[in-house]
Amino acid sequence: MSNDFAIAIDQWSGAFVNEQSKTVHRLGCCVEEASIPAKLRRRMGPMERLMAQCALGVLSDLPAAEIVLCSRYGNVDMLASLLRSISEHEPLSPMAFSLAVHNAAAGLLGQIRNDRTAHTALAAGRETLFSGLTDAYARLATDCERPIALVFGDWPLPKIYRRFTDLECGGTAMAFLMRRPMPGSHCAPYLRPLWNDAEAEQIEGAEILARRLVSVLQSESELIFQGRHSPAWKLAGA
C-alpha cells in the first residue's frame, strides 16, 4: 500500500469517565445517554452505553455503516457474573450470555440504529486499537465507496481480575467515522500509516491511545505514534 494513502476522519467523538468523580466527559459529536432507547439502555452495561454514545454521534447522518469495534476486555463484569453462576450451579441467563460475547456492543448498536450492516469485533491486548486502525485501513483500501466507523471502548476490570491488568484509565470510549478521500483531494483531519518512523512516540495501552487521539483532534494538533508491535501512524487534527 502506498504511504500517500490517508484516511479522512469525517466525524469523531470521545467519552471518558473521571476515575474520582465518576462523571462522563463527552467530546466531539458524542451524544447524551438519553439518545439510547430506554428499553435497550437497561440491557446495556456501562461500557456498551459509553461506546453507543460515541458511535451514535458519528453515525447520525448515515442510515447504514460498516463497524469495526475494538475492546481489549469487553464486558468482563457480565462474564464474571456468568462464571459465578456456573461455580454456584445456578442456571445461566440467556440475555446475560448474549451480552457477554465480544461483539455484543456492535449487535446492540445495530438494534438501536436498525442497521444490519456487517461488523467486526477485535481484541488484541495492548495493541487492540492499533489492530482496529489496521483493519479499518485495509477495508478502506479495498472498498473506496463505503465509510467505516471505528469504535473503541473499555471499562475497568472487576476487582477480582484487576491484578491481571497493567493499565487502568477508567471508562474510555471513542469513535471515528472514516473514509478514503478521492485522489488529489485535501482531507483534514486525517490518519496515515508511516510504517517506519524513528521519531514516532510509542504508546502502550489502547485506553491511553484512545484518549491521546481524541485530545489531538480536539486541539487540532498532530501526533506521530506507534505501538510496541505496530507500525507508525500520523494523526493530523487540522
What residue ranges define each of the domains in the chain, with the CATH number in brackets? 8-186 (3.40.47.10)
Report, as ranges of residue numbers, the positions in the chain whose pLDDT lies below 50.
Answer: 1-3
Q: Which helix (H) or strand (E) holds 11?
A: strand 7-17
Q: What is the DSSP letter of 30?
A: P
Span between the terminal Cα atoms of the chain, in Å = 24
> Cis ω on the peptide bond leading into residue 189 (within 30° of 0)?
yes
Q: What is the pLDDT of residue 55?
A: 96
pTM of the model: 0.90
Cα–Cα distance between 184 and 53 in angstroms, integer? 34
> How crowded is residue 103: how many other Cβ atoms within 10 Å of its Cβ?
17
Rounded Cα gap, residues 11 and 176, in angstroms: 6
From the list 187, 152, 158, 188, the residue with the least C-alpha distance to 172 is: 152
pLDDT attached to residue 168: 67
